[in-house]
Structure formats: structure tokens, C-alpha cells
Structure 1
């Protein structure tokens, strides 16, 4: 039983409270209305928005990933061989 609990606890994520101050009234009203339309509390709706935002990479993150992939260790002979293969396949 103790081991089972430890395994379950290892799979759980730690949660942290987040306080956002000075939210403009119109922004708060919009979020409350969207939460109500979604059938959620403001807290649940805001959490979904934050999780969704954090799950999408920013343009800078995508660019960094592309740069890392593009700068893979290709030699000149690798590039020339790929060009040769592409031309041969025409």
C-alpha cells in the first residue's frame, strides 16, 4: 500500500497558486463572461487559458528549435551526396 501511494504520488504534478494583481476591469469582465459560457469557474477557465498558452511554443522557441536542427553536424560531403541523390532521382 505504501509503495502504491509513492508511485501514484510520483506521477502527480505539484501545483502552485498564482495571484494576478491589477487586472483591468474590462479584461476581468471578459474572462468572467467566457468562463460562464464555458460552464467553468473563473479559476478553472483562467487555468485552462494558462495551460493552453504554456503548451504552445513561442515563435522564438520554434526558431531556436529549427536553428538547432538546421545546425546538425552535416559535412560538405553529406550535402553533396544529398544533392547528387536528388538529381539522380529526377
Structure 2
């Protein structure tokens, strides 16, 4: 990691009242608590999304939001 990146992260962590060392120690826990891409794909495959918006509904909302 570049010095600039490390400094930016330290500043963001300090801005919320945490120490960079404590935040770094927590990173492996955050990573292991996160779902893997494979787990996310499996959940999406088995979820019933038929009641959700259609592709055309989503496209229409996106177009309208950009006007």
C-alpha cells in the first residue's frame, strides 16, 4: 500500500474516533464474516425474484432518474 493510501485510511479511521491499529486488527474478522462470491451466487440462484421489478421497469426508473 502506498504511503498516500495508508495516510488517507488513517485519516478516515481517526475521523470516526478509532485508532488505525484497532481498525487494522479488525479487518481479518470483517473479511471472514463477509459472504464469498460463491455464497452470494448460490443465494441468488435459489431466491425467487419473480415478484420483483422487471428489467424494463428498472431501465425506466434509471432513465427517469437521469433526466
* TM-score, length basis structure 1: 0.38
Q: Which has the higher contact order (CA 8 A, sep 6+)?
A: 2
Which structure has the larger Rg? 1
